[in-house]
């Protein structure tokens, strides 16, 4: 096993310095040809297309705890949306995209979502910041806020790549990337809410750098809610772009930081991807029922791409061997904006199948002639993977992309994704959800979760999200149905599973 995290009581706020000429680039993939292999680099989050005349949004900490949520009407058009009520999470002329969502395990009516929010932080030029949105009535009404520009985010002017999670006690966490467009300032920070998302505390920095040779990108958060000794641990993983030769002119390992005291202090970031896996992007941590920590990401090598998964049985101190799953992600599905990078998503089933616990990974794959959503399942802790099953049940050649996976307390596996099946021109988007009720052996009939909309020609984020609780799934996504305005929508709670396998394993 490989050595991993070494804990210290006081973490440094600056990482080891490296050189990288492309520090002016940032966030997400730009796939290029490099000696016949897939290569990539960080690409800056697009600047806003509207930089003025935006409605203001409250900054957390300036809103009274007893303030009423902003009332937004729900949509229940069962002609256009056959399966499930939709809720408009955000309601503002600014753009919101790249959505994450989490359900409070102590109160499933309390849901927190996050997104890149282009309304801008008060006092700064109109640009992107980490938006956080909370509901206490299952999605009918929402309180919209921004993570405060204090603590670890005080040194930057732009914030994005948001992700949210709850711990077992109902505390919410939001992880955000921070950077500036005119300097090399760069940070990853986590804010905590102890009241379900009404007020967010000062973000704590996990890493802070100001060098042209290093950039920390695409962070994601996960929390241990098990009954194991590592219960309550909070994990954040991301890509560290740095000087090297693994990706041509630089390297891109996956790093991890952990907090064991509720987000107050964090371990120094540690490279967990190891030799042979140094050109990566799109990581996500997830925790199993025994406290097992898994991390997935997309690995780029001379010959193609593959999904990589790694496991730690001691909270990230040591790591087992990296396992891989063969993948054939498509290229850019729109041949320009909006971009469509293809990252995997990971979920660990909270209950055991008859033959043991299951780990599920989803990704976009074109091995069958067009962009499909595939899911592979492991029953031995990620050491080996069963042949993938196709989660989308359409019979045409239209594309699906941006999958995200979650597993509920019943063991049901839900996968949400953007889908172009309802548009004969293979362009407009609808959100669909696929369900497996047999621990990933087969999938039930897909359910439509949204109205159809045009994705526009700008930026819709690099991922969407889904959370679950019991019978129900809560997909959340960036939606442009309102005259092209990007808003966050959520479906649920009537979006429940459909029994019966209709598609088995593919050859």
Average pLDDT over all residues of the chain: 83
Band of the pLDDT at 93, cuts 50, 70, 90?
confident
All structural domains of the chain = 7-491 (2.120.10.10)
Which pLDDT does position 204 carry in this prediction? 98
Q: Is the pLDDT of residue 350 over 80?
A: yes
- How many degrees, rounded to 5, is the angle at CA 389 between CA 383 and CA 390? 140
CB–CB of 75/86 below 8 Å? yes
Instruction: State what percent of residues in the chain have pLDDT above 90.
Output: 67
**pLDDT computed for residue 53 by the predictor:** 31
Residue 216: its pLDDT value, please?
96
* pLDDT tens, position by position, 231-289: 999 999 999 999 999 998 899 999 999 999 999 999 999 999 988 999 999 999 999 99
Position 3 scores a pLDDT of 39
Residue 21 has pLDDT above 90, yes or no: no
Q: What value does the mean pLDDT take over residues 19-40?
A: 33
Alpha helices in 315-424 (DSSP H): none
What's the token pair of residue 229?
């000794």
Q: Percent of the chain having pLDDT more than 70?
A: 80
Contact 285, 221 (CB under 8 A): yes
| CA 183, 218, 308, 234 torsion-angle sign | positive
Query: Is the confidence at residue 377, as pLDDT, over 60?
Result: yes
Confidence band for 506, pLDDT divided at 50, 70 and 90: very low
Q: Report whether 172 contacts 193 (CB < 8 A).
A: yes
Tokens of 314: 């001691």
Residue 505 has pLDDT above 50, yes or no: no
* pLDDT value, residue 275: 87
- Mention every residue, 6+ apart, whose C-beta is less than 8 A from residue 395: none
**Predicted local distance difference test score (pLDDT) of residue 4:** 39
CA distances from residue 246 to 250, 303, 327 in whole angstroms, order as listed: 6, 13, 20
Determine the Cα–Cα distance for residues 284 and 265; give it in Å rounded to an integer. Answer: 20
Could you report the per-residue pLDDT of 276-311, keeping only the tens digit for each?
999 999 999 999 999 999 999 999 998 899 999 999
Cα separation, 309 vs 431, whole angstroms: 26
The pLDDT of residue 354 is: 82
pLDDT of residue 161: 95
Q: What is the pLDDT of residue 64?
A: 28
Does the pLDDT of residue 123 top 90, yes or no?
no
Predicted confidence (pLDDT) at residue 442 exceeds the cutoff of 80: yes
Q: Residue 400: pLDDT above 50?
A: yes
pLDDT bin (cut points 50, 70, 90) of residue 380 is: very high
In this predicted structure, what is the pLDDT of residue 223? Answer: 98
- Residues 142-199 have pLDDT tens digits of 999 999 999 999 999 999 999 999 999 999 999 999 999 999 999 999 999 999 999 9
Please compute the mean of the pLDDT values over residues 424-445 and round it to a whole number. Answer: 93
Distance from C-alpha of 283 to C-alpha of 297, rounded to nearest angstrom: 4
Label residue 57 by pLDDT band (50, 70, 90).
low
When pLDDT is cut at 50, 70 and 90, the band that residue 51 belongs to is very low
Are 337 and 276 within 8 A, CB to CB?
no
DSSP states of 289-334: TTS-EEEEEEEEETTEEEEEEEEESSTTSEE---EEEEE-----TT
pLDDT band of 363, cuts 50, 70, 90: very high
């Amino acid at each position: 096993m490989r050595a991993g995290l070494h804990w210290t009581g006081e973490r440094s706020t600056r990482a080891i310095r490296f050189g990288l000429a492309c520090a002016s680039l940032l966030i997400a993939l730009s796939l290029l040809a490099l000696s016949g292999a897939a290569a990539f680099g960080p690409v800056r989050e697009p600047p806003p297309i509207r930089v003025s005349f935006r409605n203001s949004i409250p900054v957390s900490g300036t809103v009274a705890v007893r303030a009423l949520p902003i009332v937004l009407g729900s949509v229940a058009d069962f002609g256009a949306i056959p399966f499930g009520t939709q809720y408009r999470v955000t309601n503002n002329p600014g753009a919101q995209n790249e959505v994450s969502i989490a359900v409070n395990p102590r109160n499933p009516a309390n849901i927190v979502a996050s997104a890149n929010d282009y309304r801008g932080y008060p006092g700064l030029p109109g640009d992107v910041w980490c938006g956080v949105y909370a509901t206490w009535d299952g999605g009918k009404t929402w309180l919209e806020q921004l993570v405060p520009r204090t603590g670890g985010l005080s040194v930057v002017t732009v914030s994005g790549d948001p992700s949210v999670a709850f711990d077992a006690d109902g505390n919410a966490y939001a992880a955000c990337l921070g950077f500036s467009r005119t300097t090399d300032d760069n940070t990853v920070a986590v804010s905590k809410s102890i009241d379900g998302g009404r007020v967010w505390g000062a973000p704590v920095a996990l890493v802070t750098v100001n060098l042209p040779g290093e950039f920390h990108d695409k962070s994601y958060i996960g929390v241990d809610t098990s009954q194991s000794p590592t219960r309550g641990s909070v994990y954040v993983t991301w890509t560290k772009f740095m000087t090297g030769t693994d990706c041509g002119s630089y390297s891109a390992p996956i790093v991890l930081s952990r907090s064991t005291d509720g987000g107050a202090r964090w371990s120094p970031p540690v490279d967990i991807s190891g030799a042979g896996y140094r050109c990566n992007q799109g990581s996500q941590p997830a925790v199993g029922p025994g406290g097992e920590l898994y991390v997935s990401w997309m690995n780029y090598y001379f010959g193609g791409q593959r999904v990589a998964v790694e496991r730690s049985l001691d909270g990230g101190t040591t790591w087992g061997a990296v396992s891989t799953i063969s993948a054939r992600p498509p290229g850019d599905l729109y041949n320009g904006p909006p971009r469509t990078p293809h990252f995997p998503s990971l979920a660990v089933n909270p209950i055991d199948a008859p033959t043991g616990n299951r780990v599920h990974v989803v990704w976009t794959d074109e091995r069958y002639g067009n962009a499909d959503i595939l899911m592979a399942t492991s029953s031995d802790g990620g050491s080996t993977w069963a042949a993938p099953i196709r989660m989308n049940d359409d019979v045409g050649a239209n594309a699906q992309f941006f999958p995200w996976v979650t597993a509920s307390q019943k063991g049901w596996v839900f996968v949400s994704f953007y889908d172009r099946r309802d548009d004969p021109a293979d362009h407009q988007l609808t959100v669909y959800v696929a369900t497996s009720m047999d621990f990933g052996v087969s999938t039930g009939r897909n359910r439509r979760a949204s109205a159809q909309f045009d994705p526009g020609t700008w930026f819709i984020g690099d991922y969407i999200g889904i959370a679950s609780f019991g019978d129900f799934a809560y997909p959340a996504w960036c939606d442009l149905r309102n005259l092209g305005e990007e808003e966050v929508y959520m479906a649920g709670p009537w979006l429940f599973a459909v029994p019966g396998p209709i598609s088995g394993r593919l050859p």
